[in-house]
Structure 1
Amino acid sequence: MSPPSSRARQDAAPAAGSEAPMSALEDLRIVDFSRFLPGAYASWIAADLGADVIRIEHPRELAKHKAMFGSDEDPNAATRRRARPTYTRNKRSLLINPGHDQARAVLHRLIAEADILIEDYRPGVLAKMGYGYAEMAELNPRLIYCSVSFAGQTGPYASRPGHDPAALALAGALSRLNGLPTPTLPGLQVADVLAGCHATIAMLAALQAREKSGRGQHADIAMSDASMPLLMVTMGRHDDLDALPPPGGAWHPKGGVWECADGGWLCTTDMEPAYWARFCAAIGRPDLVALQHDVAQHPAVEAELKALFRTRSRDDWFALLSAAGTQAMPVLSIAEALADPHNRAREMVRDVPVAGDDRPVVQLGLPFHLSASPPRAPIAAGMPGAESAAILEALGFDEAARFALEDSGAFASEQGAGR
């Protein structure tokens, strides 16, 4: 076994052009144990910003995902690569069983050189495998150890399992999220993305603190905690939350979602008096301006607006209200949103090349822009373990050592252990 390189970060990493501006997080290495969206979202942001993110792909967890989602079942490898989601791109993949005795030496060496570790297991699970915060902080005192879990590392529910809707339920957000009196499962991953955003903030804050202290720390992010800021505005507007009326009650002219003649829908948010006046003038009903705060008249106003919007198509209404400078927007389907020229101009929709396939895959872009530190060019993820050999070589494991790891079952190809 040859000695490890001191910090060989870029072996098999997505290469940036030599003349391109430096990405914001280009000098960071992140070891990513996450299996689900919250942790993977945070490491995706970092990877797009230039960090060298190494995904620890556990064969057992990959099998779980196949069972849950039916992923990676297509026998065509190119099709399976296309199915790898946005949050796996620009990352390297090490296919290894963290719980295997022979794997610990590999992963401890990797973590000893890392800046950040991200994990999303239930509290205590990763520690049982030999990668808990206390042990890893002793191995690497500068390590920022980011734990993303359902309900956090402390509290009565810390050991409970749960996914996105359950986190929203615990936070109190699910009771009002759909705007209806009866709660329903959301159609998008709200708590997952919120937790990923807060994990990103926590990691960057810990990095800044490390600049002063020289030491890392444990960042504890709960999906339930991350969902509770959704309550802030409602809490601020109601003194007695026990008497809070259910959502979806009386309409108020702060806006609405209106069905149009062609079955499309239009959203309006003209709540400021000046915008409400523009809206009323544009639809030919200036008489409604004075009724904005006349609660007794709101049911009649709502009924009239519903009838009015059914007289034209969605796009006709959008053109008319846009010309008047109101806040109307069509309710786009996902397909329409991906094709929308504004979203394309903002680079929120990216055509990402896929190795071994002539067709790019459509993925989302980074949801913010830095004027001097652009994100790296998006490269779709390969199959699990695509970079395993290069990562091990950079860590100092020569060919004989890699073969020994394969034979032990610690380091496996997608088809199974062994060479």
Structure 2
Amino acid sequence: MNLPLKNVKVLEQGTFITGPCAGMMLADLGADVIKVETPGSGDPYRTYQEGHFSPHFQAYNRNKRSVALNLKSEDDKKIFDQLVAEADVFIQNFRPGAAERMGAGYERLSEINPRLVYCSISGFGKDGPYRDRPSYDSVAQALSGFLGIVTDRERPRFLGPALADAITGIYAAYGVLGALVSRGTDGKGRLVEVSMLEAMAHFAIEPFTALFALGQAPVGLDRPRLAQAHILKTRDDKLVAIHLSSPEKFWDELTEAFDAKHLREDPRFATRLARIDNYEALGEELNAITARRDRAEWATIMEKFDVPFAAVNEVEEVVEDPQVNHLNLIVPVEKTGDDAADRAVRPAVTVDGEPFLNVRPAPRLDADGEAVRRNVAEGKGWPELAATARRLEEAAQ
């Protein structure tokens, strides 16, 4: 398909999740992303579990090339500078000051390439009292207020996925795309900066607005209570989620589906506000009903009555879900070894009616190093890199 970013060249010097996620978002839209890694070890996320190609690394580094460059070496630094000179975008997620120390700071790279969109991702921002603190996903979730909103105060827990890391990477890609559009108008590069703290605070914009408008922000279970959302257990020990929201019709449909006229007549649940006030009691009543049938039976019944619901799927169940399969959300990936994934979740967007079905596996460390070096030595530009790589691969065969 005609990928939206097919002519955009991205140099990513990212580690772990935030920078690599930003690079992946652009790569998924067709950008040619070269990941610059440290010789020998590479991105530390490669070894997050045993081996050198962890599934965590694979998740955020698909559709990219890899070159290992030692920026303390003059020869490698020249190769790096040549890539910078041709790049449209540079992404790094080091602590403030680290990129400058290794010769990859904004001032230096923008002198090499004034049209460069330079993206710097940090934990807390480029300056301020927290500037030099280490930041990870859990820290950003907590400091931004997000964790205080979603966690149960009686049983406080982190959410499983690395939300703050991934969301920051998505915000970084969003900033880069805006800068590229701006550059298309005036031809000037831009410095795009985003921190995990800023990204997560913006992601939680609704409770902040409630605080500023009403003087009180929601905490813990306030959101599911207000949305009348419940997670219920069925007879076969599976979970189903319902979300009744504000239209009264969904409450009516649920009580019809559950054959629970007595709940409609109960003064504790007679109105939406009453159901909010008696959220826990209503949950107990609904759980007593769902315990009578298996989840598949309830799914058939609730769909018939137009109740907003979904099975709380395990990951392996999502892969087999009929709607997921209809959307071709899971796509095959070339398997490059026993430790490599053979499938991936495709990019979420569809352009001109076409989903992005072709996903290339994450690269092995320095997989494109020889092609990059050969290209530079022969005086060829970045657009010829793919041809050089193919030529070397054919010669090796």
TM range (shorter): 0.7 to 0.9
Identity percentage over the alignment? 26
> Which residue of structure 1 aligns with residue 273 of structure 2?
293
- The whole-number CA distance in structure 2 between the counterparts of 1:85 and 1:185 is 23
Larger deviation, residues 57-66 vs 363-372: 57-66
Q: CA deviation at 1:353?
A: 1.2
Mapped pair 1:137 → 2:93:
no
- Superposed, which structure 2 residues align to 1:12-411 within 5 Å? 21-59=1-39, 62=42, 64-65=44-45, 68-72=48-52, 80=53, 85-238=58-211, 246-248=219-221, 251=225, 254-271=228-245, 272-289=247-264, 290-294=270-274, 298-355=279-336, 361-371=342-352, 375=356, 377-396=358-377
- The residue type paired with residue 225 of structure 1 is E
- The whole-number CA distance in structure 1 between the counterparts of 2:354 and 2:110 is 30
Larger deviation, residues 56-65 vs 353-362: 353-362
- The whole-number CA distance in structure 1 between the counterparts of 2:51 and 2:339 is 21
Bigger fraction of residues in helix: 2
- The whole-number CA distance in structure 2 between the counterparts of 1:200 and 1:216 is 15
Verify the 8 A CA contact 1:35 1:61 in the aligned structure 2: no
**How does the TM-score come out when normalised to structure 2?**
0.85
- The whole-number CA distance in structure 2 between the counterparts of 1:96 and 1:134 is 20
Q: CA deviation at 1:256?
A: 0.4
Q: CA deviation at 1:378?
A: 1.3
- The whole-number CA distance in structure 1 between the counterparts of 2:194 and 2:339 is 40
Deviations 1:237-272 (A, max 9, x none): 456988657523795671201111111111000122
Change in 2 beyond 3 A, CA 1:167/1:147: same
Larger deviation, residues 245-254 vs 158-167: 245-254
- The whole-number CA distance in structure 1 between the counterparts of 2:47 and 2:340 is 27
Q: CA deviation at 1:300?
A: 3.8
Change in 2 beyond 3 A, CA 1:300/1:57: closer
Q: CA deviation at 1:375?
A: 3.4
- What SS is found at the alignment partner of 1:302? helix
- The whole-number CA distance in structure 1 between the counterparts of 2:372 and 2:72 is 19
- The residue type paired with residue 37 of structure 1 is I
Q: CA deviation at 1:82?
A: 7.5
- The whole-number CA distance in structure 2 between the counterparts of 1:59 and 1:53 is 18
> Which residue of structure 2 aligns with residue 405 of structure 1?
none
Larger deviation, residues 188-197 vs 354-363: 354-363
Change in 2 beyond 3 A, CA 1:294/1:362: same
Deviations 1:13-56 (A, max 9, x none): xxxxxxxx321101111001001211111211211221111011
Greater relative CO, 1 or 2 (CA 8 Å, sep 6+)? 1
Verify the 8 A CA contact 1:81 1:383 in the aligned structure 2: no
- What SS is found at the alignment partner of 1:284? coil
CA RMSD of aligned residues (A): 2.7
Give structure 2 stretches of 5+ with no counterpart: 265-269, 380-397
- The residue type paired with residue 55 of structure 1 is K
Deviations 1:347-387 (A, max 9, x none): 32122112467996121110111116753721213311111
- The whole-number CA distance in structure 2 between the counterparts of 1:127 and 1:373 is 41
Q: CA deviation at 1:233?
A: 2.2
Change in 2 beyond 3 A, CA 1:71/1:183: farther
**How does the TM-score come out when normalised to structure 1?**
0.81
Verify the 8 A CA contact 1:181 1:247 in the aligned structure 2: no
